[in-house]
Amino acid sequence: MKIKSFSDKQAKVMTWWANEAISKKYNAVIADGSIRSGKTMSMSLSFVLWAMTNFDGCNFAVCGKTVGSCRRNVIKPLLDMIRKRYVIYDKRSENLIVIQKGERCNYFYLFGGKDESSQDLIQGITLAGVMLDEVALMPRSFVEQALGRCSVTGSRFWFNCNPDNPYHWFYQEWIQKADEKKVLYLHFTMDDNLTLSEEVKSRYYSLYTGNFFERYILGRWVSADGLIYPMFSKEKCVAPTDERHYSQYYVSIDYGTLNPFSAGLWGKSGNIWYRIREYYYDGRNNRIQKTDEEYYNELVKLIDRLPITAVIVDPSAASFITVIRKHGRYTVYKADNAVLDGIRLTATCIQQGLIMFNDCCTNTFAEFASYVWDTQHSQKTGEDKPLKEHDHAMDDIRYFCSTVLAKNGLPGVVKLRR
């Protein structure tokens, strides 16, 4: 990693604990703000320098949403920066990094805080400090369990994250109460990362729109309200249903029995994926429920002998997946169903013109116009969630983007799962 120099905010993260006048005022540091602003780099380096300067023979925790993401986003770049300064032992089987300099040695354990059960993983250990990377993605129970393990004299907390909903518990309990909790709060933007060129920053500005732009680019804690895909417009996103050459085909499916069953046929032409045509059936409105075999026959008609790479299906539709596999005609992939990551990726694909829609996909257009955030849920829980209405074509489009397009190097990379 090449570091030109530190910005003022990065330098403050790096040195606050070493400045007696500042350090005696605070028990923790929070760095939030836009993506690619240098928060994690400066914070992780500062955390290790603080630990190795002030402690010997102590345990520390470095936490990410998962251990894998922690290693990828925090540990690898961190170790690249400090290898010349310290002796490092990476004990992968124990999720432990041992860092030594001279006679001084400390132990940095890696934890993943992906769900409520994660708090069990960190119970029992005594810590001298904890760093929580992307803390807004972790459940409160895990974070509070991690903080509760810091009982060594002089222990402190280190948090960083990108903004989320303003009703999020971390924003309400820590950022809003920073003074009360003796927290040094620093808000970052991309301008605080001096390694980013103006060209790279402009590219990031073009990736997002709406509340995603507010959060990930401007670094603001804003509500997700209104349309989920405000960047969709028929003028920009809809193409005539013309004959064009496609080099590859997929089908994405959101399975429903009484709820609508939505399927989209996708074809790649140049660098753009087109939703060529769709099948949409609402069993409740039609008052006739179709069987899995009947839906399979509709799938065959939709494909119409085209050389399909795979059919991507809602992972909960076990019976329908079984029927497709029984016929042995098509390869089936279970869709990646991470909702918020999928929505963010789909929004980027629409914004960038990576997916287009033939003008015959009328059910899709109707859902784009009525697919909205559940604001009541957000205000009650602090979590973003789509309103579960008019979301069936929206879900199958999300499955396609998350399971196919993500593997081509787009944000939120995921692998195909068979």
> pLDDT tens across 319-348, in order?
999 999 999 999 999 999 999 999 999 999
Tokens for 48? Answer: 């290790």
- In one letter, which amino acid is 332? V
Tokens for 212? Answer: 């995603």
Torsion over CA of 341, 381, 221 and 351, rounded to 10 degrees?
30
Quick check: 408 pLDDT over 80?
no
Residue 3: predicted pLDDT:
53
- Per-residue pLDDT of 126-139, as tens digits, reads 999 999 999 999 99
Neighbours of 237 (CB within 10 A): 19
pLDDT band at 409 (very low <50, low <70, confident <90, very high): low
Q: Give the Å distances, CA to CA, from 155 to 47, 103, 202.
A: 11, 21, 40
pLDDT band at 278 (very low <50, low <70, confident <90, very high): very high
CB burial of residue 393 (10 Å; 0-12, 13-18, 19+): buried
Are the C-beta atoms of 161 and 186 separated by less than 8 Å? no
Q: Positive or negative CA dihedral for 397, 402, 408, 412?
A: positive
Neighbours of 4 (CB within 10 A): 8
Quick check: 194 pLDDT over 70?
yes
Quick check: 413 pLDDT over 50?
no
CATH topology of domain 234-408: Nucleotidyltransferase; domain 5 (3.30.420)
CATH topology of domain 8-201: Rossmann fold (3.40.50)
Tokens for 350? Answer: 């629409």
Task: Name the residue with higher pLDDT: 206 or 332.
Answer: 332
Separation of alpha carbons 297 and 115, rounded Å: 39
106, containing H or E segment? strand 104-112
Helix/strand/coil for 335? coil
The whole-number average pLDDT for the span 296-319 is 96
8-201 with 234-408: one CATH topology?
Answer: no
Quick check: 250 pLDDT over 70?
yes
pLDDT band at 116 (very low <50, low <70, confident <90, very high): confident
Are the C-beta atoms of 327 and 394 separated by less than 8 Å? no
Domain ranges of the chain: 8-201, 234-408
- In one letter, which amino acid is 120? D
